[in-house]
Structure 1
Amino acid sequence: MRILLIFVLIQAVNIIESDAQNLNQSDQESHLILLDSFLSIPNNGQYLDHIEQNIDWLSEKFKNLGFTIHVLESKGNPLFYAERKINQNLPTVLFYMHFDGQPVDSTEWDQKNPYDPVYKRKSASGNWQLISNDVPKPPYNENWRIFARSASDDKGPIVMLLAALYEIEDELLTPKFNIKIILDSEEELGSPNLLDVVQSYNTMLKSDYLVVADGPMHDSGNPTLKFGNRGITTISMQIYGPNFSQHSGHFGNYAPNPVFRAANLLSTMKDVYGRVTIPGFYDNVRLGKVALMELSKVPDNEEDIRNRAGFAIPDKVGSNYQEAMQYPSLNVRGIRAGWVGSEARTIVPDKVTIEMDIRTVPETDGERLVNHVKTHISDQGFTILNKPPTLQQMLEIEKPLFFKYKVLMYPFRTQMDSDLGHWLSESLQKAHQKEVVKIRISGGSLPLSFIINELEIPAVLVPLVNPDNNQHSPNENLRIGNYFDGIHSLKTILLNPIIID
């Protein structure tokens, strides 16, 4: 069986106005009301009642479109599944998205409740000004934004698909393939039960193609295809000084300070150019002529990338942004020791906690890279423990270090010159009349390897939202032009026959 995985990306910047105009104003308003309704339902995956409310909403909407609905039970949250058979002789496309969202801290948002969508425009001074707390009346400026948790990640693309299906039904048209949809309820928690679900419901999920609508488009404004994702492995370490915090006057210069121990260790892991110096870390990653040519075609503006992120000089892992994404990365994502600010105390801290992540690529393996990290730590004189040290161990071991890790997601990459890539590129070019940006591998991680491996499917990535959407952060938003264009893109994909050579 020829199987394919698709991710659908659509960019926020410079979307051509004619795309949004494929929808009349009445339809635009109806589709915004639909999105507003879904965003108003809380969706923290740590709360089962949030998940159940979202599943109820999804069930009603997809049933109205003639879909058969199933709730896929797991050891954690249930997942949502919908299926619509068009013709048994047609191929079947499985769509994957997720409806859970990151937790919210309302005090950090510029609105009272992140689950009550608000509509804003940017003023001449560059500040976001409120248009309305309710869905505004048309006409709409494509640069207006809807602010709410999961507006872009990933409820917006789910409703784009719903709206595209409504458009097709209203025009008395029929999709050109059978449709299956699986919506994850724990993606923001690392999808800990997705593998079990895919294994348990393997026959139900079996398809010819997989389409994943998640993530931002390329900055150029052109429709985008991404042919892979990096994986992620997390590491947690604790480095120790005295068994409990000590007075810095009595013990400074005598008790070892774990912060300096941690700083010394971390400084041995990378050079001044940001390149990992741990032996073997970059082994097996080779960029040949074909790969370098593919990377060179991506129209990145690196000055804009740096300006948006807010730094002057990039690390030197690759010669440019796209090359950098082809290598595994080693990142410190958090450090905690003692107290700071008004709570600072004159102490030698007892320990430092370091949280790290490794982004893996298909040529590397999370387990192998973790072993390289552990060997490097041991070579620096640390004794690695699989649990926090006892008092006796603190008295006997010079440099104890508690270490744990977890491989959360695996990388994947599909060849660009594939039937899948050609079909998707044709669909997006037809929708937007623009050259499609093709990205060899995306820097982020998604739990797709579970689906890819179990259903034996390759993958292509195609996101639908604006890159400046603040996903995972306060003031997450979706550009209205992106929303309408996303509907148009998915409608075009749904109506484009799949022809495999």
Structure 2
Amino acid sequence: MKLNVLILFLFTSNVFFSQDSISLKSQVRHTIDELVNFVKIPNDALDADDIDQNLIWLRNKFNERGFNTSVLETENLPLFFAALPMDDAKPTVLFYMHLDGQSVDPSKWNQPNPYHIVLKSKDGDEWKNESFEDLNDDIDYDWRLFGRSTSDDKGPIVMFLNTIDLLKKDAVEIPFNVKVILDGEEEKSSKPLPKAVKTYRELLKADFLVINDGPVHASGKPTVVYGCRGITTLSLTTHGPIKPQHSGHYGNYAPNPGFLLAELLASMKDGEGKVLVKGYYNGISLDEPTVTILKSVPDDAMKINSNLAIKTPEKVGGFYQEALQYPSLNIRGLGSGWIGEKARTIVPATATAELDLRLVPESDGTRLKNLVKNHIKEQGFYIKETIPTKEERMAHDKIITVKEGSVTDAFRTDLNNTYGNFLVNTLKETFNEDVVQIRIMGGTVPIAPFINELKMPAFIVPMVNPDNNQHSPNENLRIGQIAYGIQTFYSILSSPVE
């Protein structure tokens, strides 16, 4: 039976997975129409009514494909869950995507309404509008769909639905139980998710998790990501005079909080960008096989440096992928007094630095925050969680207010995991090229609760183009990535795990 299924897959994949396949292009065309319809429904993560309208659309579309669906209540906005009829003899795959998007500022977009998709082609360095009526059997895969959430993350959802259509049309038996969980608050950190996963633990249980979010590697090659960094934050405010003072009268006399903060921040890193906080990198070691995988990622250091317009990168790692294996300490914002045309000749009352700490699995976020606070104490600061009183100011030379943010954990699946090997081999056979394997990506996807609570291996299998402008004006999806996404889902859902 297993051999018959494999033979069926090889036959259908050879017929179906041709870029010129009529069935593929027809399904891509249908996917575009369905995506246009879906994107028209605004999905601002800050608007509960938006999310409700999206849930109605999703329920209808998944039900049409034979899924059983549920809206799972949480402490805030609900999750959407769908599953095909279960068979205890099959392994279970859980797909995670999200239906919400970040807020939009229409004035920054090159189209009247970011929720009304515009079709464009590249004309030199400029984009020009095209008519949807010109999308026919000769679809140009380099044309793009511009609109909020086309790539992040409504595009992959609609690709998935249309793959189910093709599998049914081709009479392919799916060798998995298929579950789907769609997040309604991913763009605002999915705060209800950890508790919701505990509540719906049995419903969400699966053998492995596939996250379809984010772009493929910059090379455009098929990509599998084994983990993502977590994040936590610290806000540091140093204090000078209780109110801003005239710099002529009190310069050289009143301590300047900007200099206090600058001296403190400078003590946290050396000249090459390595964190000097004691114990910050403890527990991290990279063996030779791991380094080999890291070096196999086809990053172009010269191109990265050129895009960033930097001469020399920091030396936390010897190359880009190695740098991502360590926790970072980043100043994401600085503020003190007034600047530019509003600059004033004062000694400011306060100076503030906002820090984000990107986490790897070896670095617990709470532990790292405590290490930073210990470092601050060693620099002679008196630490407060609130604004200091006058009495406290009079009693201490160096006072700092420290506010801590919540922790989103990192996750990383073993590079030799059976399901990871399955995904890599399936993509390699489908597209006939080596798959980019990324041990851990720099950004944060708030799905660590799945791994931590459900104890399942998890993999990110991105679908969209690297230059999609996610979270930004003029977000877009290359039409060729729709074909890629359908092929990817089709391969995964028609291939048995060996």
Q: Distance in 2 between the 1:440 and 1:477 partners? A: 27
Q: Do 1:19 and 1:485's aligned partners in 2 also have CA atoms closer than 8 Å? A: no
Partner of 1:9: none
Q: How does 1:61-460 map to 2 (within 5 A)?
A: 61-124=61-124, 126-132=125-131, 137-138=135-136, 139-460=138-459
Superposed CA offset, 1:26-61 (max 9, x none): 432211011112222222211101111111111111
Alignment partner of 1:460: what SS? Answer: strand
Q: Distance in 2 between the 1:18 and 1:25 partners? A: 10
User: What letter matches 2:32 in structure 1?
Assistant: L
Q: Distance in 1 between the 2:308 and 2:151 partners? A: 19
Change (3 A) 1:465 1:310: farther
Alignment partner of 1:408: what SS? Answer: coil
Partner of 2:7: none
User: What letter matches 2:195 in structure 1?
Assistant: D
Deviation, 1:154, is: 1.6
Q: Do 2:207 and 2:457's aligned partners in 1 also have CA atoms closer than 8 Å? A: no
Residue segments in structure 2 that go unaligned for 5+ positions in a row: 1-16
Superposed CA offset, 1:41-93 (max 9, x none): 22221110111111111111101001111111011111111111253321111
Partner of 1:477: 476
Deviation, 1:393, is: 2.5
Report sequence identity in percent. Answer: 46
Deviation, 1:322, is: 0.9
Partner of 2:56: 56
Deviation, 1:392, is: 3.1
Q: Distance in 2 between the 1:20 and 1:445 partners? A: 36
Q: Distance in 1 between the 2:248 and 2:287 partners? A: 58
Q: Distance in 1 between the 2:449 and 2:141 partners? A: 37
Of 414-423 and 246-255, the range deviating more from structure 2: 246-255
Change (3 A) 1:216 1:393: same
Q: Distance in 1 between the 2:339 and 2:20 partners? A: 50
Q: Distance in 2 between the 1:136 and 1:148 partners? A: 19
Partner of 1:3: none
Superposed CA offset, 1:279-308 (max 9, x none): 111111111112112212222211222233
Q: TM-score when scaled to structure 2?
A: 0.92
Q: Distance in 2 between the 1:344 and 1:37 partners? A: 49
The structure 1 segments of at least 4 consecutive aligned residues displaced by more than 6 Å after TM superposition are: none
Deviation, 1:408, is: 2.8
User: What letter matches 2:37 in structure 1?
Assistant: S
Alignment partner of 2:460: what SS? Answer: coil
Bigger relative contact order, structure 1 or 2 (CA pairs below 8 A, ≥6 apart): 1
Q: Do 1:92 and 1:208's aligned partners in 2 also have CA atoms closer than 8 Å? A: yes
Of 175-184 and 471-480, the range deviating more from structure 2: 471-480
Alignment partner of 1:128: what SS? Answer: strand
Of 18-27 and 319-328, the range deviating more from structure 2: 18-27
Deviation, 1:22, is: 6.2
Alignment partner of 2:213: what SS? Answer: coil
Q: Distance in 2 between the 1:104 and 1:64 partners? A: 31
Q: Do 2:227 and 2:458's aligned partners in 1 also have CA atoms closer than 8 Å? A: yes
Change (3 A) 1:119 1:390: farther
Q: Distance in 1 between the 2:389 and 2:147 partners? A: 46
Alignment partner of 1:56: what SS? Answer: helix
Q: How does 1:460-499 map to 2 (within 5 A)?
A: 460-499=459-498
Provide the aligned C-alpha RMSD in A.
Answer: 1.9
Q: Distance in 2 between the 1:310 and 1:19 partners? A: 37
Deviation, 1:20, is: 6.9
Change (3 A) 1:97 1:304: same
Of 319-328 and 249-258, the range deviating more from structure 2: 249-258
User: What letter matches 1:432 in structure 2?
Assistant: F
Q: Distance in 2 between the 1:249 and 1:270 partners? A: 33
Deviation, 1:18, is: 4.5
Deviation, 1:414, is: 1.5
Aligned residues: 481
Q: Distance in 1 between the 2:473 and 2:263 partners? A: 34
Q: Distance in 1 between the 2:112 and 2:312 partners? A: 37
Q: Do 2:84 and 2:178's aligned partners in 1 also have CA atoms closer than 8 Å? A: yes
Q: Do 1:19 and 1:432's aligned partners in 2 also have CA atoms closer than 8 Å? A: no
Residue segments in structure 1 that go unaligned for 5+ positions in a row: 1-16
Superposed CA offset, 1:407-444 (max 9, x none): 43111212212211221112212221111111111111
Q: TM-score when scaled to structure 1?
A: 0.91
Q: Do 1:337 and 1:352's aligned partners in 2 also have CA atoms closer than 8 Å? A: yes
User: What letter matches 1:430 in structure 2?
Assistant: E
Superposed CA offset, 1:452-495 (max 9, x none): 12111122222111111222222222111112211111111111
Q: Do 2:224 and 2:436's aligned partners in 1 also have CA atoms closer than 8 Å? A: yes
Q: Do 1:327 and 1:360's aligned partners in 2 also have CA atoms closer than 8 Å? A: yes
Change (3 A) 1:21 1:383: farther
Q: Distance in 1 between the 2:20 and 2:263 partners? A: 54
Partner of 1:14: none
Change (3 A) 1:487 1:253: same
Alignment partner of 2:243: what SS? Answer: coil
Q: Distance in 2 between the 1:278 and 1:494 partners? A: 47
Change (3 A) 1:310 1:141: farther
Q: Distance in 2 between the 1:411 and 1:161 partners? A: 26
User: What letter matches 1:396 in structure 2?
Assistant: A
Deviation, 1:249, is: 2.6
Of 22-31 and 440-449, the range deviating more from structure 2: 22-31
Of 435-444 and 85-94, the range deviating more from structure 2: 85-94
Alignment partner of 2:405: what SS? Answer: strand
Alignment partner of 1:237: what SS? Answer: strand
User: What letter matches 1:496 in structure 2?
Assistant: S
